[in-house]
Amino acid sequence: MAATSLSIMPSSSASISFLTCRRRISFAPINCLSSSSPSPPATVLSQDDLKKLAALKAVEYVKSGMVLGLGTGSTAAFVVTEIGELLASGKLQDIVGVPTSKRTYEQAKSLGIPLSTLDNHSYLNLAIDGADEVDPDLNLVKGRGGALLREKMVEAASEKFVVVVDETKLVTGLGGSGLAMPVEVVQFCWKYNLTRLQELFREQGCEAKLRLDADGKPYVTDNSNYIVDLYFKMPILDASDAAKEISSFEGVVEHGLFLDMASAVIIAGKDGVSVKAK
């Protein structure tokens, strides 16, 4: 289904209203967030300001009694902070969070958010996370923060998946930013898979690189795997086929193509906040 676009301005008030929760959570229609004529913000906002605006709008989807997937990354961190503050104030109650990384776990724990895992909560009402790229059909590249496997597991288990980004993350085609599209691989014979991945996309001018940490050593994920980053000189021609081909390689654990997963994408930009939904 084609994506539709709605526009809203960031609220001048910090208050957030919530619908009364029933045992089975129901979602208000996406179009409840719309307004007819957005106008530019009064001041120039930094990228972090834009991320926070999108995060605050995403938290409006959260209702008391929900089991939530808590994303990873700079934008998701704003979401987790806001949820923690709302719980502390009593405006939200009976929330359970399922974190997608060790660092999100530590942040949420420090804020007093009750936490669980997919083992104990296999059905989630809502997941909120950032993205590295968003195409016009709301397909995503995620995982530059290194948490792609746990993110995909948690977000696939969620009834709704709301993505929060600033406008710099919008692309005409996945891979089009020229930045990394991550592939998580086992440590065993990682060079073998790096070579195979680069050869798979050779005609698209792809360069495959092992991700390194700040000390120049291989970056190790929360799952004790490595990440091979793919850099494309042009958008991926067929993301669905690419995802299948990558997944077919033995030793590949997961990839950063999140296709047909997002329910809505909240975008903060110079003209305000807009919502695209399927």
Residues that are catalytic:
151
Q: 210 near 89, Cβ under 8 Å?
A: no
Query: Would you call 39 exposed, middle or buried from its count of C-beta atoms within 10 A (0-12, 13-18, 19+)?
Result: exposed
H/E stretch holding 231 reads strand 226-231
* b/e burial code for range 154-186 (CB count within 10 A of at least 16 → b): bbebbebbbbbbbeebbbebbbbbeebbbbbbe
Closest by alpha carbon to 146, among 78, 72, 249, 76? 72
- Angle of CA points 76, 77, 78, to nearest 5°: 90
Q: 190 near 221, Cβ under 8 Å?
A: no
Write phi, then psi, for 179 (nearest 5 degrees): -95, 180
Q: Residue 168 has which token pair?
A: 């710099």
- Alpha carbon dihedral 52, 54, 60, 62, in 10-degree steps, equals -80
SS3 56: helix
Q: What is the DSSP letter of 20?
A: P
Collect all residues with Cβ–Cβ distance below 8 Å to 278 and sequence separation of at least 6: 1, 2, 3, 4, 138, 262, 263, 264
Residue 153, Cβ neighbours under 10 Å: how many?
14
